A and B are shown apart, each in its own frame.
Chain A
Amino acid sequence: MKLSKEEQAMLDGDHGKATQKAMEILVALGTIYGAERMLPVTSVQIAGVSYDNLGEAGLHFLTEMVDGGGRARVLTTLNPAGMDIENWETLGIDPEFAEKQTRVIDAFAQMGVITTCTCTPYLSGNVPHYGEHIAWAESSAVCYANSVIGARSNREGGPSALAAALTGRTPAYGMHLDKTREPGLTIEVEASLVGNDDFGALGKVIGDQLQGMDSKPIVFLRRVRQASLEQLKSFAASLATYGGAALFHMEGITPEAVMHDPPADSLRITATGLENAKMEMTDCNEVEANFVSLGCPHLTIKEIARIAELLEGKQVVKEFWITTARPTKQIADRMGYTEMIEASGAKFAADTCCVVAPIKGRFTGMITDSAKACYYASGKNQFQTILKPFDEVVFAALGDGLGETTL
């Protein structure tokens, strides 16, 4: 790889041990993927924040990077942690876990990373513009930023994103290059899409197809008439989870779609295909489900307002977690939504989510509107799952339709 003078100095250790290690990581990745040079990045999103995933080794590595003088050179934000940083006790988090998790967050803060702890940085002040080179981990946010915004990011892992933060660089390969962003498969969507659950199911159907292919093409979706921010967030998360996709184009909706003709190879997605996917994500009896979760990816303020409206004056009968970014929760506080929601017995879990919190063994069946949440609930946490439309998830928390009375 050709390195600039400054990049070479980083590699030689002139900027300290942590920056050197970071540049070594980037050079190795650049070598593996045949990058000719480094690109400056303006924004980083770091994953690998939950102590549940990092473990003692990950915490030690972060501490070593702090001790080695590591300092973020560009705007860098954090993925969800394993707990609500202010309210972990109410949510039943073990104090020992909380202590370790706090040390992880502190290590990032010491490196100048902004500890937003959200999987939707694009809702909390880390918003790249079209064509901007960025280095994001968090697969759903990468897919959203590439597709909906038209920024350019590979699917970084925890350490490679941290390396980009400490150097302000990323190797020029993959999603940073025009030719890698060309679509290779047309998806004719023949099903009508209404809620987040429909968009999530669509992501699963396409993602499952991509997993069976040798080289995963970028998909070009046609005939999706409209899609809200929330629906695109659901779709991006699901497509990234089930298909490992970093980018999609959606005719009439995403900015790069106009630059391409629909590829000749095509695939039809029917209403039956969508229904089958939903059934695959529903293997639990609603009466037995003991956990209800909305906010994967993190909820927007619009979604929280809707939950408050549906819960007002009622009582939930199941453990119900509402996961969102801290700044979004603060708006909910101001608007009175938090009070309405908490009065019903539902709980806010800010800074965290049901994918990264240590909740394995605490619940057996989960109701959600998120296809991504279903994947991690059944794999990592071994829960059974039920996928429902957004409003119906709230009704399920209230016990409506189960013959149970609500207060």
Chain B
Amino acid sequence: MKWQGRKICSGQATGEALVSSMGISFFGGVDPESGMVVERGHELHGLSIAGKVLVFPSGKGSTVGSYTLYRLQRGGKAPLAIINAECETITAVGCIIAEIPCVDQIPIDELQSGMQVVVDGERGIVATLEQ
């Protein structure tokens, strides 16, 4: 499968998808040292976003969350890439300052955790690899 979305931040990455149907708050919701989702009641609670192609509808919460993405990247615990249904300011700014490829306007319902996914930030393209 292959989709044309919208470029938010350039860069390319290939990796395993981690899909959430819930929004993510990077500030407070993700541990900046480990990359673990720590928000209580979140469907990804206890899972690490490090090294994953992180797929979620949209970001939420404090604008300081942009710096959390930057901190994760510096510690080697950032996602490889981010795919959103609709990207918002916190995630977009975080991806740019942390240099994480990011594409939005993708039908994320069709992606599942565990799929191998290619993200081309510059061209705004997301594709799945055949297993």
Contact = CB atoms under 8 A, between A and B. Distances in A.
Interface in B69-96: 70-71, 74, 87-90, 92-93, 95-96
B96 A24 contact: yes
B66 A157 contact: yes
Contacts of B92: 25, 28-29, 32
A175 to B, nearest CB: 14
B interface, over-half SS: helix
A12 to B, nearest CB: 13
Contacts of B93: 25, 28-29, 157, 159-160
B6 interface: yes
B63 A57 contact: no
B67 A55 contact: yes
A159 B7 CA distance: 19
Given A61-B97, A157-B90, A54 B67 contact: yes
A interface, over-half SS: helix
Contacts of A157: 63, 66, 89-90, 93
A54 B68 CA distance: 9
B17 interface: no
A243 interface: no
B6 A61 contact: no
Contacts of A56: 71
B64 interface: yes
Contacts of A58: 64, 67, 70
B71 A57 contact: yes
Interface string A24-44: 110011011000000000000
Contacts of B32: 55, 57
A57 B78 CA distance: 13
Most A CB atoms within 10 A — which of B7, B64, B104? B64
A21 to B, nearest CB: 7
- How many interface residues does chain A have, given as a range? 20 to 34
Contacts of A57: 32, 67-68, 70-71, 74
Contact of A55 (B7, B63, B71): B71
A158 B87 CA distance: 18
B123 to A, nearest CB: 14
A58 B92 CA distance: 16
A81 to B, nearest CB: 15
A53 interface: yes
Interface string B1-27: 000001111000000000000000000
B10 to A, nearest CB: 9
Contacts of B104: 32
A28 B71 contact: no
A28 B70 contact: no
A32 B63 contact: no
A60 interface: yes
A48 interface: yes
B78 to A, nearest CB: 11
Interface string B36-66: 0000000000000000000000000001101
Nearest to A28: B92
Nearest to B63: A157
Contacts of B64: 48, 53-54, 58, 158
Contacts of B9: 24, 28
Contacts of A60: 70, 74
B8 A31 contact: yes
Contacts of B68: 57
A159 B71 contact: no
Contacts of A160: 89, 93
A60 B92 CA distance: 19
Interface in A8-32: 21, 24-25, 28-29, 31-32
15 contacts: A21-B97, A28-B92, A28-B93, A28-B96, A29-B89, A29-B92, A31-B6, A31-B7, A32-B92, A48-B63, A55-B71, A57-B68, A157-B89, A157-B90, A160-B89
- Nearest 6 A-B pairs (CB), nearest first? A57-B71, A157-B63, A58-B67, A28-B92, A57-B67, A159-B93
Interface of A: 21, 24-25, 28-29, 31-32, 48, 53-58, 60-61, 157-160
Given A32-B8, A55-B71, 17 more contacts: A24-B9, A24-B96, A25-B93, A25-B97, A28-B9, A28-B93, A31-B7, A32-B87, A32-B89, A32-B92, A48-B67, A55-B32, A58-B67, A60-B70, A157-B93, A159-B67, A159-B97
